[in-house]
Structure 1
């Protein structure tokens, strides 16, 4: 049986920044496939490379950043081999992104309607303004915002409403891939819950492939079917979200993140943080980058970077699994 084409395929992707201190290796040799009607979570501490990877997929890297190796394909097309004109048409029609900080993502001097109409009219020259306005009304209904707010400016909306507008803009052209970069940051828990429920509802109807980027493990594990855990620019584990119910089976870093999640319904549970700090990406530790913070580290961890092992359907980069038979 022929394998289904992934919506997003990352193959050995590396991204580096040129800085005064030297080359910052923000993303280091990561591979991942995301298929239609799937939500994959990307989790990691601040500075682990999550947002850089999202921008790299959209080909929106800053001037001092460059894709140093690997390929990024969306719907089978290499994003970095596209002509700029083709890429402009491809963005938002095939792949889109919900950026961090909705207030900064929206233009403060344009109404919500003007910003939504710009998406339609820029990508479909045959569409009339009347038809674009009708589509804008449909979008407002999808994200549960009163149509009267089409005439509002961003500063006139609450944080949750601004975030919903950004989501509406991202899904306006029904792209196959939607990247959501910290879409609920700075929102209170009630609004955060409503945004997550809306994302799940939209995804069920539209069948999008979603890459959901966050530093909140509880959110990611609840929303996603698969989770990629990122540390120092690498995927140290990619696992089914259901397997996270058994922390002892996972990478020591994944275990550390899980132990740091408050369990509101549990009794006598001690919340433990991960000791130490994330490494300097300009000067990474030898061997496994996590070894200075890892309670299970031994001599080999300090000298040799571990290879990816496939254990019970999970990809794990850890020497503790070196004795386990790998399988594709």
Structure 2
């Protein structure tokens, strides 16, 4: 069996925002690899650093946001070592992104065909109108939109159709990695399910890797093969999705997310929230950032920050698991 190659390699990435009270570390020493044709989920509460990490990967950080350390490689190429011209050619050809709001991502005065054509022409100067039209038709077929909508403007499409168009544009140049940042958040449950099914079908056909970002734990664990859990800018657990669907030996924050998932088939539905609030990134607690909300916290947790460590087939950043093997779930 051929060993899969890493498409995305993040090593000790840190990202900060300037503020009147000094730098705010939104992403702190994160390392993550995604392999060919793999779907990896990234989950966490609002403000945990998920979208900041996505923008750092795409090199789209603006204004007061900047990378303070670490490296990002796509197919072995250092994203931050590319010139502006090289980066322009690299985006969408090697890495692409599906943004949270499809309406904001689409140009309201351009038709669907014009927006697809604009993306293709920016990378393939010699592509003919006939070739571009054929590719646009193939893409709409792939995302299950009638070809007649090539002449439609964004305001003439439903929310689900707009999101499918954004996905079509993201994959039009067949990138190796597609980042999907909360792509179904604004959609109703039925349309959301349809979009997720299509993402899986398209991914199997086109064969690209996906970093799928969401606050919806159950949705991500169903779609992805591995899931990274973020809290206060750090990855606190990284494990296979099958293992994460089962309550058991997890990081206390992960356990809290699992308890908060409603189970409609259960006789007695008890949803438990995680006590307290996410920390203020300007004034992070000492030691483990989760310790003020953790029922298992000890004195050590308040003074010593745990590192992400291998525990069986998972990686967990918690003092509870130091030197222990975590039981594996089948």
Under a length normalisation based on structure 2, what TM-score does the superposition of the two structures give?
0.97
When structure 1 is superposed on structure 2, of 230-239 and 303-312 the one drifting more is: 303-312
Show the 5 A alignment for 1:127-276: 127-276=127-276
CA distance in 2, matches of 1:168, 1:275: 41
Q: Secondary structure at the match of 2:73?
A: strand
1:140-171 per-residue CA deviation (whole Å, 9 max, x = no partner) reads 00000011111111111100000000000000
How far apart are residue 236 of structure 1 and its match? Answer: 0.3
Counterpart contact for 1:177–1:210, Cα < 8 Å: yes
Aligned counterparts of 1:270 and 1:258: Cα–Cα separation in 2: 12
Higher alpha-carbon deviation: 189-198 or 57-66: 57-66
Long gaps (5+) in structure 1: none
Q: Is the 8 A contact 1:49 1:233 kept in 2?
A: yes
Q: Distance in 2 between matches of 1:227 and 1:267?
A: 28
Mapping 1:70-81, distance limit 5 Å: 70-81=70-81
Give the aligned partner of residue 311 of structure 1: 311
TM-score of the two chains, using structure 1 as the length reference? 0.97
Alignment-derived partner of residue 66 in structure 1: 66
Instruction: Write the mapping of 1:48-127 to structure 2, written as runs, cut at 5 A.
Output: 48-127=48-127
Alpha carbons of 1:185 and 1:66: their partners in 2 closer, same or farther (altered >3 Å)? Answer: same
**Aligned partners of 1:199 and 1:85: how far apart in 2?**
30
Contact map agreement 1:256 1:274 (CA 8 A) in 2: yes
Q: Could you give the per-residue CA deviations for residues 203-257 of structure 1, whole angstroms, max 9, x where no partner exists?
A: 1111211000000001100000000000000000000001023322110000000
2:186 & 2:48 partners in 1: Cα distance?
A: 20
> How big is the shift at 1:308?
1.8
CA contact (8 A) 1:260 1:272 kept: yes
Q: Secondary structure at the match of 1:200?
A: helix
Q: Distance in 2 between matches of 1:251 and 1:224?
A: 19
Deviations 1:260-293 (A, max 9, x none): 1110111113100111111111110000000011
Report the equivalent of 1:45. Answer: 45
Query: C-alpha displacement at 1:5, in angstroms?
Result: 2.8
Moved over 3 A (4+): 1-4
Aligned to 1:277: 277
Asked if 1 retains the 8 angstrom alpha-carbon contact of 2:112 and 2:152, the reply is: yes
**Partners of 2:106 and 2:72 in 1: how far apart?**
27
Structure 1 residue 325: Cα displacement: 6.5
Q: Secondary structure at the match of 2:248?
A: helix
In the alignment, structure 1 residue 299 sits paired with structure 2 residue 312: no
Is the Cα contact below 8 Å between 2:221 and 2:245 reproduced in 1? no
> Following TM superposition, by how much is the alpha carbon of 1:22 offset from its aligned partner in structure 2, in angstroms?
2.1
Q: Is the 8 A contact 2:42 2:214 kept in 1?
A: yes
Give aligned pairs, total. Answer: 326
Question: CA RMSD for the aligned pairs?
Answer: 1.3
Q: Look up the SS of the partner of 2:127 in the other structure.
A: coil
Compute the displacement of 1:20 (Å). 2.0
Instruction: Return the alpha-carbon distance in structure 2 between the equivalents of residues 238 and 308 of structure 1.
Output: 9
Distance in 2 (alpha carbons) for counterparts of 1:256 and 1:325 = 21
Q: Secondary structure at the match of 1:282?
A: helix
Quote how far apart the aligned CAs of 1:309 are: 1.8
Q: How does 1:7-26 map to 2 (within 5 A)?
A: 7-26=7-26
Return the alpha-carbon distance in structure 2 between the equivalents of residues 3 and 319 of structure 1. Answer: 33
Once residues 82 and 50 of structure 1 are traced to their aligned partners in structure 2, the CA distance between those partners, rounded to angstroms, is 23
Structure-1 separation of matches of 2:267 and 2:186: 29
CA distance in 2, matches of 1:236, 1:95: 26
